Each structure stands twice: as C-alpha cells, then as structure tokens.
Amino acid sequence: MQKLYKRIVYSFDHSHCNRTMSEKCEAMFMRDLCFYQCSPNLGPWIIRSERKIGTERMYAAPLCMSDCNEWWEACRHEQTCVENWSYEFDWSTGRNSCPEGRDCLSFEQVFGNASRFCHAVWDGAWTATNSSQCLHFLEGKAHNILKHNYDVAVAQANDILKRLRDAQSHSVSREGAKLMISLFCFGLIRFRVTVN
C-alpha cells in the first residue's frame, strides 16, 4: 500500500523535513487521499482548478470536526516547513522539498490547531465543522458512514440546484436554466469558485 500511495501522489514525500513521519500520521494522510480519490460523494465540492496535477480539485468540503481532531492528534507533533502543501513546496528536483530558507517546525507551530490544519494543509480542500452536515473520512464515526456521506452530498447538491432555480427566476430564461440544471446534474458543467 505504501508503494501505491507514493505513486498516486506523484512522489510526494510526507517526510520532507528529514524526519520520518509516524505511521499513524501517514495513515491519516492515506485516508484523506483515498477519500479524495475514491469517494463518490464529493461532486458538490469539486471545482475547476489550474494545477499541474489536474484540472479539478476539492474545495471547502465540510469535514466532521471529530475526524479533523483525530487527524490533528495523529500529526500535531510531525514537522513541516510550509503551511499550504498544494502550492508552497519547491518541486525543482521532481519531489516536494522545503523552499530555501524555510525551517522545519512542528505542525503545532505551523498550523496552531486542528481546524486550521485541516483547512490549510491542502489549500482549503476541507473546512472542519461541528455541523451534522459534514463528511467523515474515518470509519466508525457514523452509524452508517456511506449513507451519512451520501445524504450530506445529496443535501448539498439539492442546495446548489435550488440556487440555480432561484437564479433562473432573476436572470436566465426558463429553458436556459433547465439546460444548466440538467448539465450540472449529469456532471457536464462545474462551477468555478474564486478564492481571494
């Protein structure tokens, strides 16, 4: 599984501070990766992205705070030299490495707390929340995790569709709105989110 993990993430080195990351922390990053790569329930939080490794990414998906806390507890004493792992590393060698002049510090020093860590490490992919409308990537956190995550995704998709219908009554013809809703439902269009 370790070999597969390294290959999937394009030679990304979690131990970029010349200190081997603990198995517990690396396992949490693996769960995060597997959820991102394999969950059928992330559609409402997938946006277009101009990145070298893909044209889409997850943004502001609601991660259950209990999962975020467990991830943080597994990793808080690890080390890193950057806050945003999506954009701040030096990739000139073909692997992620610390930019020149950046010191390795504990996650606690870099991120400060669980919520900040879960949000910042992958450039806003997650937003930790105490709401019941959150996604679990850890097993055993909900009675039926698959159904729970599906229900959360459906609720978010319905909210997006409602906003599209509301927009229809203000600025788009009825036929145009029906077409937009149909294309969205079939995954043929995505909405671009601009982040300041």
In whole angstroms, how far apart are CA 6 and each of 2, 85, 117? 6, 15, 22
Tell me, what's the pLDDT at 196?
Answer: 38
Distance CA 45, CA 58 (A): 5
Tell me, what's the pLDDT at 74?
Answer: 98
Tell me, what's the pLDDT at 139?
Answer: 74
Distance CA 51, CA 85 (A): 13
Which one-letter amino acid corresponds to residue 99?
A: P
Bridge partner list, 61: 126
* Contact assessment for residue 35 and residue 43, using Cβ atoms and an 8 Å cutoff: no
Cα Dmax for the chain: 59
| Torsion of Cα atoms, 11 then 12 then 18 then 20, to 10° | -100
Distance CA 105, CA 127 (A): 23
Distance CA 187, CA 160 (A): 13
Tell me, what's the pLDDT at 164?
Answer: 85
Mean pLDDT per 10-residue segment, the chain (196 residues): 49 90 94 90 92 82 97 98 95 92 98 99 97 88 82 94 80 59 53 42
Per-domain boundaries in the chain: 2-185
In whole angstroms, how far apart are CA 54 and each of 47, 48, 57, 137? 11, 9, 7, 22
